[in-house]
Amino acid sequence: MDKKIALVTGASRGIGRAVALALAAADCHVLINFKRRESDAAETLKSIQAAGGQAELCPFDVGNATACDDAVGQLLSKHQRIDILVNNAGIRQDGLFVFMKPEQWADVIATNLNSFFNLTRPVVKQMALNRWGRIVSIASTAGQTGAEGQVNYSAAKAGLIGASKSLAREVAKRGVTVNVVAPGFVETDMLEGLPRQQFLAQIPAGRFGQPREVAAAVAFLCSDAAGYITGAVLNVNGGIYT
């Protein structure tokens, strides 16, 4: 069988880039999705190729249902299948709920949650037909505990967890697993503007996580070895939530 085909959304930087590198190292052909950061995505591609892996760039907006349908159609036409889907793309637009603008809510929900429907629905159909597939969505501790100033973000991440658990029950008999990785505070651009020292004091491990540590959890859930794990939420958070 050829290399497994892995689509990673938001793979231009941060956790997405680390996941793309980890899956390439696991002998997958990686489809590097991005929306705007083409130069960053190209760096992800360059890193994979430098390590001897295979990948390609796949620019489209995961928050746009039509764009997702078109992209999946083109990718299936080219590769015949998508074996692994990692729903990683996400944005923050923080603010206290009483002052939150409708577009702040809509944009975060579209990118962080609606994208699950937009992309997973067309992908999981062919996974079920092939009787093998791995779907992993990147949630957040915020979706498990809530976070002040992040009602929109927390709602989207909590929605990812509920959607994944439900879909896992629907497709388990077809050899498709659906899981969630829920990072805590990880050294990425998503920490910008947050009170780092305040959060650091709350983490039992005494440090922020690294993208590669989240990626290792994702790579495991995408492997054959994780075939009996589905509907799970794997916390990668230094003990801040258990």
DSSP category for residue 59: E
Give the C-alpha separation, 130 to 81, whole Å.
8
Active site residue 228: no
Give the C-alpha separation, 232 to 135, whole Å.
11
Report the first-to-last Cα separation within the chain, whole angstroms: 39
* Token reading at 178: 């659906």
User: Tokens 């939530």 appear where?
Assistant: 241
> Within 10 A of 8 (CB to CB), how many other CB atoms are there?
35
List the catalytic residue out of 153, 178, 186, 230.
153
Half-sphere exposure of 174 (CA within 13 A, CB side): 19
- Tell me the catalytic residues: 153
